[in-house]
Copies of this chain bind each other. A is one copy, B any other.
């Protein structure tokens, strides 16, 4: 049996809610934790909750000027922010200053980012890629120990694109994407699930910091490979909706020839790919403007080596 990979202990952990101001589970949890952080406290590390986009939260919208969760790229972080810049560019620089700088040794050890989706994604765990060893072990721990069922792992980093999500500021990260929940609504069931997963994730860090050996494992995960837009009229307006057979079927196999859209004339539009995919973010409200009706993923099994805190 080979040695585990030794990783440094985690000292500073951030929890962001309201990266999108109308995804209410994280907004209300973080506001609660800012008043009463007791349930975040563990003995071996410090946890800092914060509101990602306070102005968007105030107006209960996703963002003011541009999507904060696409703004942590060097082009936005490494220019001098001025008052004339979009609000989210200024805010991304503030967050980078407090919890980063991104890519530096001063950055926070871990960042959680709390999201909701209108899609039927269950309690989805978003990791950049399978090379995020610590996050992958955390996901494995959550799947094995959390009372919340159906926590599929999704790799959110499209191949060839850089990580520009809020959580990319810290050295490691995990985003929670819980749904279905409408924008601007807090459902008690989703709130409770998010809370349970967060508690379990913090327990994992505590155990890791205390020297627990986490053995090697294989785990199933989904990788985004393609985005599919709605059919549109020449003027850009959508000409069809998600087919009733596909609606709410996130993470379920979509086979070539399966119906994917239904036009306003009642015509079915069939999937024209030649392979089976597992669609996610089906009918996510915020993705209409991003020209994404759903994302196609491939399912894979990923082997991860054992880890333990280094000395």
Contacts and interface: CB of A to CB of B under 8 A. Distances in A.
A219 interface: no
A188 B28 CA distance: 31
B60 A288 contact: yes
Contacts of A191: 241
Interface in A180-223: 180-189, 191-192
A148 interface: no
Given A28-B241, A31-B237, A32-B264, A183 B186 contact: no
A140 to B, nearest CB: 28
B264 A28 contact: yes
A306 interface: no
A182 B118 contact: yes
Contacts of A28: 238, 241, 264
22 contacts: A28-B241, A28-B264, A31-B237, A36-B265, A118-B182, A118-B184, A180-B182, A181-B182, A182-B183, A182-B185, A183-B183, A184-B285, A184-B288, A185-B283, A185-B284, A185-B285, A186-B241, A187-B241, A188-B241, A188-B244, A188-B262, A191-B241
Interface of A: 28-29, 31-32, 36, 60-61, 118, 180-189, 191-192, 237-238, 241-244, 247, 262, 264-265, 283-286, 288-289
Would you list the 9 A-B pairs with minimal beta carbon distance, nearest first?
A: A182-B182, A184-B285, A32-B264, A118-B182, A188-B244, A185-B285, A186-B241, A188-B241, A188-B262
